[in-house]
Amino acid sequence: MTNSPRRGRMLGALVPGSQRRALPEVADRLDLDSGETRAKRSAFWAMLVLSGVIAVSGVATDSTATVIGAMIIAPLSTPILGIGLGIVTGERRRIARSVAYVLGGMVVVVALGLLAALALPATSDVVSNSQVTGRTSPGLGDLVAAFATGFAGAIALARRDLADVLPGIAIAISLVPPLGVVGVCLGQGQPSLALGALLLFVSNAVALVIAATVVFSGVGYLQDARAARQGAPVPRRRRAVLVALVAVLVVAVPMVANSLQAALAELWLSQARSAAQEWVGTGNDATVEDVTWQGQDLVVEVRSPDAVPDVAPLQDQVDAIVPWQPEVVVLHTVGERVESTG
């Protein structure tokens, strides 16, 4: 079979011919229902459950290292990339099977997170730790990173010489931890936070599918699929492309909104910090230690040997700055800062 000029250029740029995996080899790696199906399925579900347990444990204990461990062994990227390959080759059954594995995996991990949250002591405030807060408000930067990681993963899968980078790609494209956060947040009665974590997972999954579709088409697997069918046309992919574009739009809109909201919140926080420093004054040895958001409230930490001024003027200033007029909470620490003279 001769390569078209376009295919030749893209194939040479993305995957040199000497390193290109054949379509049957890639399909065997991504299709859990072909070849040694029993071994593939048992490995997928065993690794998924273990990854879910590790991820939920890392979330509950606020351990970044533990969560990274869950990312490395997470097998969800296999059926997600399988969806992309199914779109390229026009195999609807492969797409349906891969989607079923992804949905089943989502249910398993979310259930593990929910059970863990219900088992935690009533005094545990898991939703405030960094593993949760970092995954419940994804922005446009997360979507860009997901696409870049998706392209890297698809290229690495199509090349024989890039297998060593797959663990790093698994860490970069977070799949299981956001689902664990969804379950934990649901168990803690925080559906809005759970929705944010679900958005992060869906955006990562959509980016993986689209990147895989682009890369696998570019390296020639579409032509290989046509040749394997002895010239029979591959089913049209217009519907799949349309669905992919709609999916990108659905996840991109709230992520752009989150990015804008985060930028505005940081601007308002800076203005509120200036207002707080003006409020405490300069003649009573009072200092503003920190000004942070805590949910919708503004928390102002003040260190002063004397009583703090009346909070009402600060509340009025903050109400004039922030549209939703947050409640100002002042945390007063009695004392003074002593600097070393040595």
pLDDT winner (highest mean) among 31-35, 114-118, 151-155, 291-295 = 114-118
Name the residue with higher pLDDT: 17 or 4. 17
**Number of Cβ atoms within 10 Å of the Cβ of 261:** 13
Residue 316 domain boundaries: 264-333
pLDDT of residue 340: 54
Q: Is the pLDDT of residue 331 over 70?
A: yes
- C-alpha dist (Å) from residue 179 to 7, 59, 275: 37, 11, 39
If asked whether residues 191 and 107 sit together in one domain, one would say yes
If asked whether residues 269 and 186 sit together in one domain, one would say no
Residue 252 domain flag: no
Q: Give mean pLDDT, residues 9-14.
A: 60
- Stretch (H or E) spanning 162: none
pLDDT of residue 106: 95
If asked whether residues 183 and 74 sit together in one domain, one would say yes
Rounded distance between C-alpha atoms, residue 162 and residue 317, angstroms: 56
If asked whether residues 75 and 219 sit together in one domain, one would say yes
If asked whether residues 222 and 270 sit together in one domain, one would say no
Rounded distance between C-alpha atoms, residue 322 and residue 13, angstroms: 50
Q: What is the CATH number of the domain that holds 329?
A: 3.30.300
If asked whether residues 76 and 125 sit together in one domain, one would say yes
pLDDT of residue 101: 95
Cβ–Cβ < 8 Å for 27, 87: no
If asked whether residues 271 and 213 sit together in one domain, one would say no
pLDDT of residue 1: 40
Residue 255 domain flag: no
pLDDT of residue 241: 67
Cβ–Cβ < 8 Å for 79, 32: yes
Q: Is the pLDDT of residue 8 over 50?
A: no
Count of domains for the chain: 2
Tokens describing residue 142:
């997360």
Q: What is the pLDDT of residues 107-143, one digit of tens each?
A: 999 999 999 988 877 656 777 788 888 888 888 888 8
The pTM (predicted TM-score) of the whole model is 0.77
Alpha helices per DSSP H over the chain = 5-14, 23-30, 37-60, 64-73, 77-89, 92-119, 130-133, 140-158, 166-172, 176-187, 191-218, 221-228, 238-280, 311-321
